[in-house]
Structure 1
């Protein structure tokens, strides 16, 4: 019995020893594995950090080298050789770093993309490219691509691919920024009142931060609402040291302050010079012998004289049965419920029973009313009018050539399609109104303007439960107003769709309307105005379906009722914006040279009388700007330019 017990004891001891040995070995193995994982992670961080620094140095070197390149407008294409020489120097300078496996820069300005370093064949198949006319424009787009080596001493795959897109262009610097203001001095600069959310970089030389947002009550008095401060998902740039005391955690949402960086290359535009150049570029593409040499009413008068003196072959069509001269006829604007004096001694073109087609150029003296009452009307040649022109559509009304009018132009779309395929020029004002129901087929009904447009005075656009499309560029000598139906309830269904650059010589006011991009919202409106920019009552008292924010950058999910404004706004003066009762979601940017004031709260708002929030933390802002760099590569020929290349860099992507 004693021997059996001794034997059992020995077996137990051996089993326990075996268990502890296995546990010990497992612990050792785990320690070794953990050490390897730590080593691998450390290598990954070192590789990534080193690679990021190389990309940053390359971008800085590009900025320094392109600063010395002169822009010869007579030999635009020659810039490619200079740029390629500088970029090849950069590749040579950094490609021998021990952790770099492959380094290249790919020219994606046009198709096919051009790989500057053929020793990186894996990168040559990059599909991304743009359609820049490199013989007409200085703008170039490049993709920097860096692939790291996998260190031999490290177990596991830690190789990384870094990509960064840069754009070189003589565009003004403000197009780099989501939000900003260029001025410094008393009551100038950038004012962030409340809790906006900005996704992208910000520029300012003067900055005021306030945790309270201003808003106006229905009785026109002003109130203030406390908020959790503004969130910046990007960097702050400045050309001065004025911002140093303000960029600190306690001044930003969730104490996440942006990094302050210096922009020593900031270049703005000379607005008047740019406005004149762009106007004359448009006029050069017309048949009018006109140029903008004077400002304001003098330009209006000059344009009117040129249109009145414009000569065409067909001068009198009143006898062909298609045109009726009327001693007194109702002003077509009265169709919209306005009380307006009838027109005296005017012409009327009305399709009552069958379609009307005008194949030749037409010039008419006096006021002209064109109505597609029961059948379509088509003008295949130019339409020149020395008085006012009224275009009123119930059925299709199509203008296939230029329209030149020495007075006002009124475009009134009640049904059917009203389309102008070429240029529209008015020496006075242009008013465009539509109420055609075209939500199901925007190409079959509504107003579509595919040519350039010049207004010698104002431009007024009003969409009522409809969509109006602009697919080219616009110059407005005086004020711009774009609006929708002020009585809309439960969301905006008034849309103005753009693929346009607009220059306004005075103020701009946008209200109660969705600003969308053409081509399924891929394009943008880029609006430049000389004086005050006012954007009001956008998505008024509407809310995101889910107002709870996710992780940074605190952007909303897809929401069919709240659509982003696809636009970049610039004023040479000031802009005051209020995301309190309104809900702003800008996919583009906004910049005011003199003063930009943004007021915003977070969360749901039902009425201006019910604004006393208990908690806004964790809710989406009612003023969001999400920077979109694609505006730089759209409508390049119509954008303002400066005298040297600027570098616009996109986000760094690490795979």
Structure 2
């Protein structure tokens, strides 16, 4: 009996154990099924939120475009942007914009297919001090009255979802995205890009963005951090280069050569394109279009871009119209822009201030004599005797500010110019460069202009066959010292009726340029000798001719000396004709990061902190040169980038022979590229007041956030 009882207990115990195990397995299976269903719902909710965000962005852009929508508010906004430099009073601009925002929200709130989703579009608070709230300060905007002076607005789009599946708990998800509404052209949104069409009326440009020829050509292997715009993109394995003679920086006598093949470009961003024409040579180990070794272990970034179709909402710019608007901003009369007779300008000066008219009249009357015989009459004292027979002025023995001005070789022509009729305009005639060569610093740096928003107009005044004075544009102004035409956030203008050459300084004492520049001719930013020189810019520059950057390093200027390096401003160069950037840190060693993390590339100091735009073509050579651009490069017609991954064993011209066409450099993809571009997100806000302005708002999106 005892043995039977023991056997029964064993059987019961085993049965219990297996029953418990069975129930546990069954419970786990049911629970896993439930968790899987919840996880699937979570993924579907998040994916639906991301898709909906794309739809919200598209709808908002459509509602903002007066050429697409029948929305009356969008057409009203267009009229406001065309007619006013700043938002008109009584908040008319914000009222129209708020109407578009409300209409966009209502479109999604009234959609029965979006049950469980709530769309909100809220403007960020400029004055908020709450560190948890993303504000305008993130984008470098801190001025309290910013919105009164500028059209730019920053919104946060949030999509909330609490929709649950059958018998499942609510799973809250919030998808949010910061968007900037800006009246600036779209080319400022890309690290690299090309529009790919020849000039035609702005209204016809959006009909067919793609060009029969490739808009963007990438030869070799650049590193690009930021988005790319290229309706048609061509990729080639080999880079092209020119062995440029230093005595001929334009490269007109150089011969075009070719390197061996390199592995594909690394792109950390989104590529917007219609067509990729891959002409790269096959690589046994890597046959992809794009390749990258700079991987973040956690995020899996590899340098292969997300590829999306180009947007139909590309906001274009007309250079001539933009240039004319900026001329108006300088405060100079329109007839100077047309290089016509100077008589109306003399009349304007005379009607404003008889004293200043005498100074300007003296400049005209002595011009020919100074140009032809400056050694006889070129002293400051002689000119001032003619200008105003006042011994106090000649000797500087006066406290009269108007008389002190006469000691400065700039000629003040009243302050009744410009749209606000309060623009100070100073004139510099070409002959003064020689006349005042011992005191040339006064032309650009003195108490009457330093730290102001004045306009300096440099020109050549001469007589035509009818003995009437005219403006000529066949001369060069060389700027080789600091220029400060900035007061707070506002900048003045240097207007050059001719060609402008800007030279740099040493690394410890760079030339600093603060202010806007308009050049009626060609621009040369170059070293004055064979050694590279250094400049710092806080400036937007418009050039009607060609632009050449030669053997210089460009950094951003600090707002003040106490600002950290990350707060530096930048140069925005907008050229009507061809852009050339040559001899940038030639044959300099390119140091590789120790752990191949993307952050190590981004934290490197640039040697060109600038955004370059040309309304024509640009061909850039990162072969002998070493480009480290923080900003961007964009061409209206075609942009060609040549880049290699290589360190030269010598810094002489003979080093270029190391790039043999027969060597396969694609077998060494770990080296950093000699052409690196990183997009500067602050380019729009830092230079906003002087950037090109268009007649409709564009949508600039920030990173997507999921919570």
Do these two structures clear the TM 0.5 threshold for a shared fold by scoring above it? yes
> In the alignment, what sits opposite 2:641?
598
CA distance in structure 2 between the partners assigned to 1:27 and 1:179 by the alignment: 57
Kindly indicate whether the alpha-carbon contact (under 8 Å) linking 1:139 and 1:170 is maintained by their aligned counterparts in 2.
yes
CA drift at 1:49: 0.8
Q: 1:177 aligns with which of 179, 190, 194?
A: 190
Please give the per-residue CA displacement for 1:36-61, whole angstroms capped at 9, x wherever unaligned: 55344323321211111111111111
CA distance in structure 2 between the partners assigned to 1:66 and 1:592 by the alignment: 26
CA distance in structure 2 between the partners assigned to 1:218 and 1:499 by the alignment: 30
CA distance in structure 1 between the partners assigned to 2:170 and 2:630 by the alignment: 38
Q: 2:555 aligns with which of 497, 516, 521?
A: 516
CA distance in structure 1 between the partners assigned to 2:188 and 2:693 by the alignment: 11
Deviates more, 1:421-430 or 1:122-131: 122-131
CA distance in structure 2 between the partners assigned to 1:293 and 1:234 by the alignment: 41
> In the alignment, what sits opposite 2:270?
235
DSSP-derived class of the 2:656 partner: coil
Q: In 2 relative to 1, CA 538–91 (structure 1 residues): closer, same or farther, beyond 3 Å?
A: same
CA distance in structure 2 between the partners assigned to 1:302 and 1:173 by the alignment: 41
Q: In 2 relative to 1, CA 88–316 (structure 1 residues): closer, same or farther, beyond 3 Å?
A: closer
DSSP-derived class of the 1:259 partner: strand
CA distance in structure 2 between the partners assigned to 1:619 and 1:585 by the alignment: 15
> In the alignment, what sits opposite 1:504?
543
CA drift at 1:149: 2.8
Please give the per-residue CA displacement for 1:244-285, whole angstroms capped at 9, x wherever unaligned: 66599843336946424133233422212221221222125x
Kindly indicate whether the alpha-carbon contact (under 8 Å) linking 2:217 and 2:639 is maintained by their aligned counterparts in 1.
yes
1:431 maps onto 2:483 in alignment? no
CA drift at 1:638: 2.0
CA drift at 1:392: 5.3
DSSP-derived class of the 1:48 partner: helix
Q: In 2 relative to 1, CA 125–271 (structure 1 residues): closer, same or farther, beyond 3 Å?
A: closer
> In the alignment, what sits opposite 1:438?
none
CA distance in structure 1 between the partners assigned to 2:647 and 2:156 by the alignment: 41
Counting only pairs closer than 5 Å after superposition, residues 33-72 of structure 1 correspond to structure 2 as 34-35=32-33, 37-68=35-66, 69-70=74-75, 71-72=78-79
Kindly indicate whether the alpha-carbon contact (under 8 Å) linking 1:399 and 1:420 is maintained by their aligned counterparts in 2.
no
Kindly indicate whether the alpha-carbon contact (under 8 Å) linking 1:548 and 1:618 is maintained by their aligned counterparts in 2.
no
DSSP-derived class of the 1:38 partner: helix
Deviates more, 1:601-610 or 1:391-400: 391-400
Counting only pairs closer than 5 Å after superposition, residues 480-495 of structure 1 correspond to structure 2 as 480-484=523-527, 494-495=533-534
Kindly indicate whether the alpha-carbon contact (under 8 Å) linking 1:193 and 1:598 is maintained by their aligned counterparts in 2.
yes
Q: In 2 relative to 1, CA 103–361 (structure 1 residues): closer, same or farther, beyond 3 Å?
A: farther
Q: 2:237 aligns with which of 211, 225, 232?
A: 211
CA drift at 1:600: 0.9
Kindly indicate whether the alpha-carbon contact (under 8 Å) linking 1:486 and 1:512 is maintained by their aligned counterparts in 2.
no
> In the alignment, what sits opposite 2:702?
650
DSSP-derived class of the 2:50 partner: helix
Kindly indicate whether the alpha-carbon contact (under 8 Å) linking 2:136 and 2:154 is maintained by their aligned counterparts in 1.
no
DSSP-derived class of the 1:83 partner: helix
CA distance in structure 1 between the partners assigned to 2:607 and 2:11 by the alignment: 74
> In the alignment, what sits opposite 1:400?
447
Q: In 2 relative to 1, CA 357–106 (structure 1 residues): closer, same or farther, beyond 3 Å?
A: farther
Kindly indicate whether the alpha-carbon contact (under 8 Å) linking 2:221 and 2:237 is maintained by their aligned counterparts in 1.
yes
> In the alignment, what sits opposite 1:106?
122
Please give the per-residue CA displacement for 1:42-89, whole angstroms capped at 9, x wherever unaligned: 233212111111111111111111113122235744232222122123
CA distance in structure 1 between the partners assigned to 2:683 and 2:643 by the alignment: 25
Q: In 2 relative to 1, CA 383–549 (structure 1 residues): closer, same or farther, beyond 3 Å?
A: same
1:556 maps onto 2:569 in alignment? no
Q: 1:546 aligns with which of 592, 595, 599?
A: 592
> In the alignment, what sits opposite 2:432?
388
Q: In 2 relative to 1, CA 186–555 (structure 1 residues): closer, same or farther, beyond 3 Å?
A: farther
Kindly indicate whether the alpha-carbon contact (under 8 Å) linking 1:495 and 1:514 is maintained by their aligned counterparts in 2.
yes
Please give the per-residue CA displacement for 1:184-224, whole angstroms capped at 9, x wherever unaligned: 45656211111123333322344322121112346744122
Structure with the bigger percentage of strand:
1
Gaps of 5+ in 2: 67-73, 198-210, 246-253, 281-286, 293-302, 360-369, 382-395, 411-423, 461-475, 487-491, 560-564, 650-654
Kindly indicate whether the alpha-carbon contact (under 8 Å) linking 1:39 and 1:154 is maintained by their aligned counterparts in 2.
no
Counting only pairs closer than 5 Å after superposition, residues 555-574 of structure 1 correspond to structure 2 as 556-559=601-604, 562-563=605-606, 565-574=608-617
Kindly indicate whether the alpha-carbon contact (under 8 Å) linking 2:405 and 2:448 is maintained by their aligned counterparts in 1.
no
Kindly indicate whether the alpha-carbon contact (under 8 Å) linking 2:268 and 2:305 is maintained by their aligned counterparts in 1.
no
Kindly indicate whether the alpha-carbon contact (under 8 Å) linking 2:269 and 2:305 is maintained by their aligned counterparts in 1.
no
1:167 maps onto 2:180 in alignment? yes
Please give the per-residue CA displacement for 1:536-573, whole angstroms capped at 9, x wherever unaligned: 2223333453346746x6871523xx426332211111
Please give the per-residue CA displacement for 1:354-400, whole angstroms capped at 9, x wherever unaligned: 999883355769989xxxxxxxxxxxx99765531447599999512
CA distance in structure 2 between the partners assigned to 1:583 and 1:280 by the alignment: 38
Please give the per-residue CA displacement for 1:402-427, whole angstroms capped at 9, x wherever unaligned: 4xxxxxxxxxxxxxxx8777433211
Q: In 2 relative to 1, CA 654–523 (structure 1 residues): closer, same or farther, beyond 3 Å?
A: farther
Q: In 2 relative to 1, CA 108–539 (structure 1 residues): closer, same or farther, beyond 3 Å?
A: farther
CA drift at 1:590: 1.3
> In the alignment, what sits opposite 1:197?
223
Counting only pairs closer than 5 Å after superposition, residues 574-613 of structure 1 correspond to structure 2 as 574-606=617-649, 607-611=655-659, 613=665
Kindly indicate whether the alpha-carbon contact (under 8 Å) linking 1:361 and 1:383 is maintained by their aligned counterparts in 2.
no
Q: In 2 relative to 1, CA 558–174 (structure 1 residues): closer, same or farther, beyond 3 Å?
A: closer
DSSP-derived class of the 1:273 partner: helix
Kindly indicate whether the alpha-carbon contact (under 8 Å) linking 1:300 and 1:427 is maintained by their aligned counterparts in 2.
no
Deviates more, 1:629-638 or 1:243-252: 243-252
> In the alignment, what sits opposite 1:467?
510
CA distance in structure 2 between the partners assigned to 1:398 and 1:391 by the alignment: 14
> In the alignment, what sits opposite 1:526?
572
DSSP-derived class of the 1:204 partner: strand
DSSP-derived class of the 2:682 partner: helix
DSSP-derived class of the 2:555 partner: strand
Kindly indicate whether the alpha-carbon contact (under 8 Å) linking 1:314 and 1:363 is maintained by their aligned counterparts in 2.
no
DSSP-derived class of the 2:258 partner: strand
Please give the per-residue CA displacement for 1:269-326, whole angstroms capped at 9, x wherever unaligned: 2212221221222125xxxx564442xxx37978997999896637999xxxxxxxxx
CA distance in structure 2 between the partners assigned to 1:452 and 1:89 by the alignment: 41
Structure with the bigger percentage of helix:
2
CA distance in structure 2 between the partners assigned to 1:495 and 1:158 by the alignment: 56
Kindly indicate whether the alpha-carbon contact (under 8 Å) linking 1:459 and 1:479 is maintained by their aligned counterparts in 2.
yes
CA distance in structure 1 between the partners assigned to 2:495 and 2:444 by the alignment: 20
Kindly indicate whether the alpha-carbon contact (under 8 Å) linking 2:267 and 2:305 is maintained by their aligned counterparts in 1.
yes
Q: In 2 relative to 1, CA 364–64 (structure 1 residues): closer, same or farther, beyond 3 Å?
A: same
CA drift at 1:109: 7.9
Gaps of 5+ in 1: 114-121, 318-328, 332-340, 369-380, 403-417, 435-445
Please give the per-residue CA displacement for 1:452-496, whole angstroms capped at 9, x wherever unaligned: 2111112222222122222221111111122347655xxx7x432
DSSP-derived class of the 1:262 partner: coil
CA drift at 1:522: 4.0
Q: 1:270 aligns with which of 315, 318, 340?
A: 318
CA drift at 1:574: 0.9
Deviates more, 1:356-365 or 1:161-170: 356-365
Normalising by structure 2, report the TM-score.
Answer: 0.67
